[in-house]
Amino acid sequence: MDLVIGRVVKTHGVRGEVVVDIRTDDPAGRFAVGTRLRGRAPRTAGGGETEYEVTAARMHAGRLLLSLAGVGGRDEADRLRGTLFVIDAADVDSGDDPDEFYDHELEGLPVATVGGESVGTVREVLHLPGGELLSVTTGDGREVLVPFVREIVPTVTREGIEIDPPDGLIDPVED
């Protein structure tokens, strides 16, 4: 299983730098010059995996800018938009912090409402430009996308997840 450590959100300048949304607690180590990154293209681009070598990394306006070997211009860099940089889940542990989890630790967990009503199980964590979503498979096989924000997901433990869904999130609102 893989963990997402970053996502290419856009290009920067004309020399092929990419802006990366960091999703790791060790960006200096994960994106150090010389590091080889596994990049997974978005599903819309075929979802293939390519290896990249970091040739330069710097922070700019609170974002990470990366230069990658073989990516020499804006057009080449723009084709990487949406690419996820991933690592093997076996290489990391979320540790003892009760508020930090990796995607693979959440997948398969039961989901219930704060009132105790079973909703389903987490199928995957989706990392989208607008934020993270929990893809939950309900007991009847439907997929429910739950915004992974504290107001809706107040409790996450290694045993399960409690959600406080607004009206219409789990079941359609009747007219």
Domain regions of the chain by residue span: 2-90, 103-163
**Cα–Cα distance measured from residue 153 to residue 164, given in angstroms and rounded to the nearest whole number:** 6
The order of strands in the sheet holding 155-156 is 143-147, 131-138, 118-128, 110-113, 161-163, 155-156
**Cα–Cα distance measured from residue 97 to residue 115, given in angstroms and rounded to the nearest whole number:** 26
Q: Which CATH superfamily groups domain 2-90?
A: RimM (2.40.30.60)
* Intervals of the chain under pLDDT 70: 1, 44-47, 90-99, 172-175
pLDDT of residue 93: 62
In 3-state terms, what secondary structure has residue 94?
Answer: coil
pTM of the model: 0.59
pLDDT of residue 2: 76
**Cα–Cα distance measured from residue 134 to residue 126, given in angstroms and rounded to the nearest whole number:** 6
Question: What architecture does CATH give domain 103-163?
Answer: Roll (2.30)
In 3-state terms, what secondary structure has residue 59?
Answer: strand
pLDDT of residue 81: 92
pLDDT of residue 24: 82
